[in-house]
Amino acid sequence: MTTFLDGAVADPERFSALFDAHYEEIRRYIGRRLDLDIAEDLAAETFLIAFRRRDSFDAAKGGIRPWLYGIATNLIGSHRRAELRRYRALARSEPSDADDSHDQRVVDRVTARVTVQKLSAALAGLSRGERDVVLLVAYGELTYDEVAAALGIAYGTVASRLSRARTKLRDALGVEV
Amino acid sequence: MKEFQLIDEVMPQVPPADYATMMAARARMLGGARRQRRRVWPKVVLAAAAVSMVITGGFVAAPLVGGSDGSGIQTAAVPPDAVLAAAADRLAAQPPGTGAWWRRDMTQVEWTRTPAYTVERRRRDVLWLSREHGARTQQAQISAKPRTPADEQAWRNAGSPDLCDRCEMVGGYFTPLKLTVSPAMELPAEPQALKAKLLSVYVPQNDKDIPEAIWGASLKDTPETWIWGASPWLLLNAETTPATRAALYRVLAGLPGVRVEDNVIDIDGRTGIALTYGKAPTREQIIIDRDSGELLAIQKELSGTGATFAAYVVKRLGWTDDPAPAQSSFS
């Protein structure tokens, strides 16, 4: 929690504390969507942009985390093709002999074995807007309100995108996600 | 079960960031307004670069110290403390370096005032340190001349006397710290630990073994200002790691009476961020490159006659595989 920074983001000293508190999770979020070399760059870019815009941060429009996730998601958007390439490469990758290894986790949901390959293909099938809301919830654990704040869209839009995405994912995977 | 937990569970995780990467990101942020987008190299190119690094072995070229020309940097929004913190972060992220010798190449500059004119003398001063081979020094006179055209005219009016009666300037290559007990390279990289270490080897002010300091007056005060007085040795004459040097900046910035000033220009015209102690006409400054955190120069101003200004202008500093001279030289 960094609510103590709300309203004090403009202070560079305290902004350093914000970096320390959130760098790792922002880097992890981007790194799960893009290759790590790009993710490292974009994570640094996220905080550089946030630092530059610190004077315009408005706590009334949402917290620090949605603000940072929103900047990061916008940056990811400029690498949409790279993200899709990554999903397609993962979808083509050979399943490991050890299905529960680090890179090849599997969730067995009664009727379907959901693998990295299947899930990557399914994520590639979502629209950019759908993927953004799904992954902000899945990786960032943002609430619908926070997703709306992060992306600057209405709550209802978040809900409808998630609904559509859930349907697409269920159809692709054969299991509720 | 949280929403979309399946995605979180199945998709590949990300390894944690290494410290250097995080520090670089932090420094990039605090560097603030400057946008320096790193090009994302294809993996093939990165692999080729890794191979070539292996082939070239441990060679590390000590970087030429450049300073900032100010053209690409917007400083208005960033307070000096943040600029220094960012520079220290970047320096601390540098590896200790490899090579057989640690080399510090600098120019000593001194202004000496006579009743009629001021003389500027310059000497090249190179220090080589090696754990296996000890130390070598190379000192050579570069120039001795009246400082300004007005000084030159006054000097001519005085009959053009020899300007080199004080050409052998100060150059002590020993340290007031007991670094033989704790090698400079092993000094702490964390500011509080470094400060504690320095204070633990604090030498009483009246110790006759203390050589004349670059900043002599500073040595005769409290233990904390003694750290300020000892800092030129740690920065100029000891093979301290980048991380220790960065930690020293932070220690110095926190000392009583020390302030951080931005856009300070050294005698060679390079702009940096400075740690400043005292006020003109008696002012001491450590000037640091605001991008790399490397030391640019150490300067002091004095009032009255005699030496009125002295500077140690760093040209190169770091580990190198360049061969050291077989013997020290002095000319």
DSSP state letters, B104-164: EEEEEEEEEE-SS-EEEEEEEEEEEEETTTEEEEEEEEEEEEESSHHHHHHHHHTT---S-
Instruction: Give residue B243's pLDDT.
Output: 95
Q: What is the mean pLDDT of chain B?
A: 76
| Domain positions in chain B | 91-330
- Flag if A37 and B11 touch (Cβ within 8 Å): no
Residues 108-167 of A with CB under 8 A from B: 109, 114-116, 119-120, 123, 134-135, 137-139, 141
Helix (H, G, I), strand (E, B) or coil at B76: coil
Gap between the Cα atoms of B231 and B235, Å rounded? 6
Helix (H, G, I), strand (E, B) or coil at B306: strand
Nearest CA to B87 out of B24, B129, B14 is that of B24
- Please give, rounded to a whole number of angstroms, the shortest distance from the CA of A21 to a CA of chain B: 12
Instruction: Give residue B63's pLDDT.
Output: 38
Note if the bond before B146 is cis, omega within 30 degrees.
no
Q: Is the pLDDT of residue B141 over 80?
A: yes
Gap between the Cα atoms of B88 and B295, Å rounded? 11
- Flag if B2 and A19 touch (Cβ within 8 Å): no
Q: Which residue of B has its CA nearest to A117?
A: B11
- Flag if A139 and B7 touch (Cβ within 8 Å): yes
Residues 57-96 of A with CB under 8 A from B: 90
Q: What stretches of B33-117 adopt beta strand conformation (E)?
A: 101-113
Best residue in B1, B4, B35, B90 for a mutation probing chain A (most A CBs within 10 Å): B4
Q: Which domains, ranges and CATH numbers included, belong to chain A?
A: 1-78 (1.10.1740), 96-177 (1.10.10.10)
Decide: B301 and B280 in contact? Cβ < 8 Å. yes
Helical segments of B136-290, H only: 149-157, 191-200, 223-236, 242-253
Confidence of residue B206 (pLDDT cuts 50, 70, 90): low
Decide: B83 and B75 in contact? Cβ < 8 Å. yes
Nearest CA to A137 out of B14, B16, B1 is that of B1
Contacts of B25 in chain A (CB under 8 A): 19, 23, 27, 40, 43-44, 47
User: Chain A to chain B, count of Cβ pairs less than 8 Å apart?
Assistant: 109
- Flag if B41 and A37 touch (Cβ within 8 Å): yes
Q: Is the pLDDT of residue B329 over 60?
A: yes
Q: Which residue of A has its CA nearest to B80?
A: A12
User: Could you report the per-residue pLDDT of B256-297, keeping only the tens digit for each?
Assistant: 889 999 989 888 888 899 999 987 777 889 999 998 999 999
Model pTM score: 0.52
Give the nearest partner residue to A177 out of B6, B35, B43, using CB atoms: B6
Best residue in A48, A56, A115, A168 for a mutation probing chain B (most B CBs within 10 Å): A48
User: Could you report the per-residue pLDDT of B168-202, keeping only the tens digit for each?
Assistant: 554 444 455 555 445 788 889 999 999 998 888 77
pLDDT in tens, chain A (177 residues): 333 344 445 566 667 778 888 999 999 999 999 999 899 999 999 999 998 888 778 777 788 999 999 999 999 999 999 999 999 999 998 765 544 444 445 566 555 578 899 999 999 999 999 999 999 999 999 999 999 999 999 999 999 999 999 999 999 998 888
Looking at the complex, does the CB of residue A40 fall below 8 Å from at least one CB of chain B?
yes
Give the nearest partner residue to B29 out of A48, A119, A177, using CB atoms: A48
- Please give, rounded to a whole number of angstroms, the shortest distance from the CA of B91 to a CA of chain A: 17
User: Could you report the per-residue pLDDT of B210-236, keeping only the tens digit for each?
Assistant: 444 444 444 456 777 778 888 888 899
- Flag if A137 and B79 touch (Cβ within 8 Å): no
Cα→Cα distances B193→A164, B189, B199, Å: 56, 8, 10
N-term to C-term CA, chain A: 28
Gap between the Cα atoms of A168 and A162, Å rounded? 10
Q: Is the pLDDT of residue B303 over 80?
A: no
User: Could you report the per-residue pLDDT of B37-85, keeping only the tens digit for each?
Assistant: 333 433 333 333 333 333 222 223 333 455 443 333 333 457 899 999 9
Nearest CA to A172 out of A87, A105, A79, A61 is that of A87
- Flag if B33 and A102 touch (Cβ within 8 Å): no
